[in-house]
Amino acid sequence: MANTLREEHAQEKEDVRSPISNIISSIAWFASDQWFMITLLLLILVASQVQVPSQQQATKETVIKYATVAVIFLINGCTVSTQILVQTLKRWYIHIFVQALCFLLTSITTFAVVQATATNQNAIDAALLNGFVLMGCLPTALSFNTNMTKKANGNAALTLTESVLGSVMAPAISTVLMTTYSSGNFWYAGILPQGSTSYGALYKKVFQQLGLTLFLPLAVGQLLQYFLPEKTRQAMTTWKGSKLASFALLALIWSAYDGAFSADSFATLDTKNIVYLVFVNIGLFLIWIACALLLSVPWLSQEDCIAVAFCVPTKTPALGIPLVTIIFEGLSSTDAAKLYIPMIVYQCIQTCLASLATIPLKRWQARTARGSSSSNETIS
Break the chain down into helix, strand, coil percent, rounded to 5. 80, 0, 20
Task: Report the distance separating Cα 287 and Cα 278, nearest Å.
Answer: 14
The pLDDT value recorded for residue 14 is 47
The pLDDT value recorded for residue 340 is 85
> Has residue 194 got a pLDDT over 70?
no
Task: Report the distance separating Cα 272 and Cα 21, nearest Å.
Answer: 42
Spatial neighbors of 165 by CB under 8 A, at least 6 apart, are: 95, 99
The pLDDT value recorded for residue 179 is 85
> Has residue 7 got a pLDDT over 60?
no
Query: DSSP label at 191?
Result: G
- Which is higher by pLDDT, 93 or 196? 93
Share of the chain above pLDDT 90, in %: 45
pTM for the model stands at 0.84
The pLDDT value recorded for residue 137 is 94
Task: Report the distance separating Cα 358 and Cα 287, nearest Å.
Answer: 17
Asked if 200 and 172 count as a contact pair (C-beta separation under 8 A), the reply is no
List, for residues 20-57, the tens digit of each pLDDT value.
888 888 898 898 889 988 998 999 999 999 999 989 98
Domain ranges of the chain: 53-362
List, for residues 212-246, the tens digit of each pLDDT value.
888 899 899 999 999 999 999 999 988 988 888 88
Its CATH class, for the domain covering 53-362, is: mainly alpha
List, for residues 343-367, the tens digit of each pLDDT value.
989 989 999 999 999 999 999 999 8
Asked if 48 and 257 count as a contact pair (C-beta separation under 8 A), the reply is yes
List, for residues 250-286, the tens digit of each pLDDT value.
888 898 888 888 888 888 788 999 999 999 999 999 9
Task: Report the distance separating Cα 179 and Cα 107, nearest Å.
Answer: 12
